[in-house]
Chains A and B, each alone.
Chain A
């Protein structure tokens, strides 16, 4: 019983981390339709910013998170303005270009910091126990923090003027432009926001996961899988998707290894696509 509880709580924690990593992807891929293969590297940039801020500059973790958001958002702005915008309407080329950027970012960090893993101290130490199950405070913080970011993002997209503009552009770019929305600027800000969220995910994961120049790949794939399972443009769907992925990985990890869980999730995606393709990928065509 206790072990199941432990697995569930672990799963909740990893779900939160997965959701955090996928949120930026939902915004950039779901709303803007840009598949960003450098998403994992934006997470890596966030993690390294957190490392620099806490270990090298001695700042506290809150400041490190703010800096991580800012650094990744800045990288996002550069990407959008210099590359993504110029390839608008050509998704495959955009994908290739962002892959080029991911290689650039990996190697830049590799050259500056070296290939070895870096260590970030856990900012909130200590833990408490429920029966025999030990729960670190940092996990509680992670889950609460991600829930707050998720709620904030949804509010931003549904309730504010900016969010309405983003959604208007998603629905009909030409019409939105006719109504006086500066779509180029909204694109840049949206991309920056999505990238910033990725950076935040990196900072949040840094104390509990390994920080290295090549850490991005698994995050990228995981984010894709969760957002695809849940419906690429849906925040709620992605939350459900990350819960599914996180919990099934944790629970199956208890009986076999997490590779099996990954494979199962992948098969699930294929099945979802096979039997409900329109539901996830295409809007109903007229």
Chain B
């Protein structure tokens, strides 16, 4: 019944975006390929945020905590490959702690990178969603979590490198073979593609339908027999796993991780990408992430603070005039309708 001949606009956009990203290393300079590789990792992070915010309507303002859990786990694992890492030795740590020994093998590290954030998100969901804490309070609590997590990371200097973070880490390698830049780029590209397909398939499945139902009208859904807390917790945990995976990829690609990457700053940055690109269709997440980061890189070098100023103004303008973001507004234009404002939000 849903099989319509038309393909939504955003699928064309997705195709174009992935084609461009796939072909880029063939034409682009090494410098930009490396930069884009980092943004590819951000795409995974943006998709994971879109699952909870765009689909289920849960605005997570501390999503970087989940990213950071994965990132720091990977960073610790990579730095401990050859005995006690230098930054630990500086604080008088003589032996690799037992918990760190467990995550030295890479497969174990990847597993922990994915499971640990999923566990945290699941626990948080268990506590919040089952107590019917939703809407803006969820945002406030996750924001507080982000601030506290980054303070915590900074305070645990002997294990996290404190304010400076953990740096000097090796790049991507597979089965003991370290990847060249192009190989690394395509590896990350493949991961992004897989995550995209995973998210797309899940969100077009009935699960995605229910999540959108939660976003639109949670109470009504409850009276149709859906346990909304379970769905939200499942979505949040899954999103945590993806964010952790993004964090794990980020570390070898970027070479380092610092408290800035796990706190309020990075969390809200991702929120801005999605707000500008548009939520609830994955395409907006991808477009917003690439647009803001590429522009940011080009402009912040010369204009610095003015670029941030522009970003703040752009966010304000999008919220006031294009609440559906670029892709959402585009879809509406194609459908030829206007959204009844606020109709979806009823208590």
Contact = CB atoms under 8 A, between A and B. Distances in A.
A and B bound? yes
5 contacts: A92-B135, A99-B315, A104-B309, A111-B309, A263-B152
Interface string B117-152: 000000010011001110111011101110110011
Interface residues of B, number: 44
A136 interface: no
B309 to A, nearest CB: 4
Contacts, number: 120
B131 A93 contact: no
Given A87-B319, A91-B136, A273 B309 contact: no
Contact of B151 (A35, A110, A259, A269): A259
Contacts of B81: none
Interface residues of A, number: 44
Interface of B: 57, 59, 124, 127-128, 131-133, 135-137, 139-141, 143-145, 147-148, 151-152, 154-155, 264, 268, 271-272, 275, 305-306, 308-309, 311-316, 319-320, 323, 341-342, 345
Nearest to A256: B155
A93 B339 CA distance: 15
Interface of A: 35, 37, 83, 86-87, 89-93, 95-97, 99-104, 106-108, 110-111, 217-218, 220-221, 224-225, 228, 257, 259-260, 262-263, 266, 269-270, 273-274, 277, 281-282
Given A262-B148, A270-B141, 9 more contacts: A89-B345, A90-B341, A90-B345, A97-B319, A100-B319, A111-B305, A111-B306, A266-B144, A281-B137
B264 A217 contact: yes
A86 B342 CA distance: 12
B316 A97 contact: yes
A104 B152 contact: no
Contact of B312 (A35, A104, A282): A104
Where chain B touches its partner, the secondary structure class is helix
B339 to A, nearest CB: 12
Given A97-B316, A107-B308, A224 B140 contact: yes
A91 B135 contact: yes
A86 B320 contact: yes
A259 B308 contact: no
Given A217-B264, A266-B148, A282-B132, A92 B139 contact: yes
A54 to B, nearest CB: 25
B313 A273 contact: no
B342 A89 contact: yes
Contact of B148 (A263, A281, A282): A263
Given A101-B312, A107-B308, A274 B131 contact: yes
Which of A37, A90, A100, A108 counts the most B-chain CB atoms under 10 A from its CB?
A100
B139 A35 contact: yes
A41 B195 CA distance: 37
Contacts of A220: 143
Given A259-B151, A259-B152, A262-B151, A96 B131 contact: no
Contacts of B59: 92, 95-96
Contacts of A282: 132
Nearest to A257: B155
A108 B309 CA distance: 7
Given A269-B144, A270-B141, A100 B315 contact: yes
B207 to A, nearest CB: 22
Contacts of B128: 270, 273
Given A96-B271, A266-B148, A277 B131 contact: yes
A221 B275 contact: no
Nearest to A221: B147
B140 A96 contact: no
A217 to B, nearest CB: 6
Contacts of B140: 35, 224, 228
A264 to B, nearest CB: 10
A269 B141 CA distance: 9
